[in-house]
Structure 1
Amino acid sequence: MQFAPINASDLIPITGAYRHRVSPPLIAGYEGVGTVVAAPPAFRHLLGQRVLPLRGVGTWQRYVDCDPLSAVPVPPDISTTLAARAYINPLAALLMLKQWSPAGKRVLITAGGSACALLLAQWARQMGASSITAIHRAPQHGARLQQLGIAALAETQRAEIAAAAQQCDRVFDAVGGEIGQLIWQALSVDAEFIAYGVLSGKPVRVNAPRPALHWFHVRHTLEDLAHQDWQRLFSELWPLLRASECGEVEIFPLAHWREAIQCYHQSGRERKPLLQIS
C-alpha cells in the first residue's frame, strides 16, 4: 500500500455504529492505492502496477490481499494521491447521478465542502442540471463553490435554504439533522430527496410518502455487481476525475494516524487527510 484516505465510512465502524457487521479485530480503511508485489500466474501482468485493492476492508496497513479480478489498474496519467481517493466518494457520486438523473433538474446539495458534494455538483452540471445550489458550513467552501460556478448558501441562511428547496427537483443530502429536515419539509410533493449520509448524527424523519425519500448506500449497490461491471464503472470514472476539481490533500505518515483523524474532524477543513502507508 502507498496511500489511503480518511473517510466517514472508515471512521464510523471504529466508533461502533456499524457493530452489527463489524467483528473485531479488524483493520480500518475501505480505499487506497498500492503496487502489486505478488499475483497468481494468470495476473502476472499486474506485477509492478499501481492498482486500487478494493471491495474489501483493511487498507490502513502495509500489505493488502485482494481478489485480482477486483483490483482496478490505475491509468499512468492519474496521480497516486488522486487514485487513492477514486473509490468511495467518486463512485457514490456517479452511481447516485446515474440512478437519479440531474438532466433538466434543479439540484440542491448539502455538505457542500465535502469531496462527494464537490463531485456531485460538478458532474450534475455536466449531465445537464438546469441549476445547482450547494449548502456549506465554512466561508472558504462557499468561495470555492462559487469559483466553480456553483451557487452557494451558508448553513445559517435558513430562509434562503427553504426557498431554494421549494424550487428544487432533486436533493442530495449527506447531513440530515435540522438542515435535512428543513429541506424535506420545504420540498414540493414531486421532488426527490436522496439521503446518502448523516453527518449530523440525526437522520431526516418523514411522516408522509411524498416528497419521496431514498436512502443510498454504495455497499448495497455494489454487493451483486459482476467483476466486468465493476471495472467498467472505473473506466467511466477516470475521465470524469481527470476533468474535475477534486480538492487538495494533506499527507500524514501512518504512525501519525491520530493527527490525521483530528485533521479530518476540523471544521472548515480544506484538505483531505491522506495516510502515507509506505
Structure 2
Amino acid sequence: MHYAPVNASDLIPITGAYRHRVAPPQVAGYEGVGTVISAPSAYSHLVGQRVLPLRGVGCWQRYVDIYPQLAIPVPEDITSTLAARAYINPLAALLMLQQWPVSGKNVLVTAGGSACALLLAQWAKLHGARRVVMVYRSSTHAEKLHALGLTALQETARDAIKTVSAQTDIVFDAVGGDVGQLIWRTLAEHAQFVAYGVLSGTPVKVNATRPVLHWFHVRHTLGDIGAAPWQQLFIELWPLLRDSECGEVEIFPMSEWRAAIESYHQSGRTRKPLLCLDE
C-alpha cells in the first residue's frame, strides 16, 4: 500500500455505528492505492502495477490481500494521491447521477466543502443540469466554489436557501439536520431529495410521501456486482477524474493517524487527510 484517505465511511464503523455488520478486530479503511507484489499466474500481468485494492480487507495497513479480479488498474497518468481517493466519493457521485438524471433540471447540493459534493456539482453540469447551487458551511469554501462557476450559498443564508429550494428539482444532501429539513420542507412536490450522508448527526424526517426522499448507499447500490461491470465503472470514472477539480490533500505518515483523524474533523478543512503507508 502507498496511500489511503480518511473518509467519513472509514470513521463511522470505528465509532460503533455499524456494529451490526462490523466484527472486531478489523483494520479500518475502505479505499487506497498500492502496487501488486504477488499474484496468481493468471494475473501475473498485474505484478508491479498500481491498483486500487477494493472490496477486500481494510486499507489502513502496509499489505492487503484482495481478489485479483476486483483489483482496479490505475492509468499511468493518474497520480497515486488521486488514485487513492477514486472510490468512495467519485463512485458515489457517478452512481447517484446515473440513478437520478439531472439533464435540464435545477440541482441543489449540500456539504459544499466535501469531496463528493464538489464532484457532484461539476459532473451535474457535465450531465446538462440547468442550474447547480451549492450550500456550504465554512466561508473558506466559497472562493473555490465560485472559481468553478458554481452558485454558492452559506448555510446561514436561510431565506436564500428557501428561495432556491422552491425552484429545485433534485437535491443531493449529505448533511441532514436543520438545513436538510429546511430544504425538504420547501421543495415542490415533484422534487427528488437524495440523502447520501448525515454529517450533522440528525437525519431528515419526513411526514409526507412527497417530495420523495431517497436514501443512497454505495454498498447497497452495487450489491454483488460482478467483476466485469465493476471494472467498467472505473473505465468511466478515470476520464471524469482527469478533468475535474478533486481538491487538495494533506499527507500524514501512518504513525500520525491520530493527527490525520483530527484533521478530518476540523471545521472548514480544505484538504483531504491522506495516510502514507510507505515504509
Query: What's the TM-score, normalizing by structure 2?
Result: 0.99
Number of equivalenced pairs: 278
Match of 1:30 in 2: 30
Rounded to whole Å, the distance in 2 between the matches of 1:140 and 1:131 is 23
Match of 2:198 in 1: 198
Rounded to whole Å, the distance in 2 between the matches of 1:129 and 1:10 is 31
Return the offset for 1:153. 0.2
Match of 1:78 in 2: 78
Match of 2:229 in 1: 229
Rounded to whole Å, the distance in 2 between the matches of 1:18 and 1:255 is 25
Matched, 1:3 2:3: yes
Rounded to whole Å, the distance in 1 between the matches of 2:186 and 2:143 is 26
3-state SS of 1:20 partner: coil
Match of 2:96 in 1: 96
Map 1:1-278 to 2 at 5 A: 1-278=1-278
Rounded to whole Å, the distance in 2 between the matches of 1:170 and 1:111 is 15
Rounded to whole Å, the distance in 1 between the matches of 2:143 and 2:102 is 23
- Aligned 8 A contact 2:56 2:65 in 1: no
Return the offset for 1:233. 0.4
3-state SS of 1:19 partner: coil
Rounded to whole Å, the distance in 2 between the matches of 1:56 and 1:110 is 30
Rounded to whole Å, the distance in 1 between the matches of 2:94 and 2:238 is 11
3-state SS of 2:166 partner: helix
Query: What's the TM-score, normalizing by structure 1?
Result: 0.99
Q: What is the identity, as a one-letter code, of the residue corresponding to 1:68?
A: P
Extract unaligned runs of 5+ from structure 2. Answer: none
Return the offset for 1:143. 1.1
Rounded to whole Å, the distance in 2 between the matches of 1:277 and 1:270 is 22
Return the offset for 1:218. 0.2
Return the offset for 1:226. 1.2
Rounded to whole Å, the distance in 1 between the matches of 2:118 and 2:168 is 18
Q: Which stretch of structure 1 is more off in the superposition, 50-59 or 165-174?
A: 50-59
CA offsets per residue over residues 229-260 of structure 1, 9 Å max, x none?
00000000000000000000000000000000
- Aligned 8 A contact 2:57 2:65 in 1: no
Runs of 4 or more, structure 1, over 4 Å off, are none
Q: What is the identity, as a one-letter code, of the residue corresponding to 2:45?
A: H
CA offsets per residue over residues 163-183 of structure 1, 9 Å max, x none?
110000000000001000000
- Aligned 8 A contact 2:253 2:275 in 1: yes
Extract unaligned runs of 5+ from structure 1. Answer: none
Return the offset for 1:56. 2.4
- Aligned 8 A contact 2:27 2:60 in 1: yes
Identity over the aligned pairs, expressed in percent?
A: 68
- Aligned 8 A contact 2:171 2:193 in 1: yes
Return the offset for 1:224. 1.9
- Aligned 8 A contact 2:193 2:214 in 1: yes
Return the offset for 1:142. 1.2
Return the offset for 1:34. 0.2
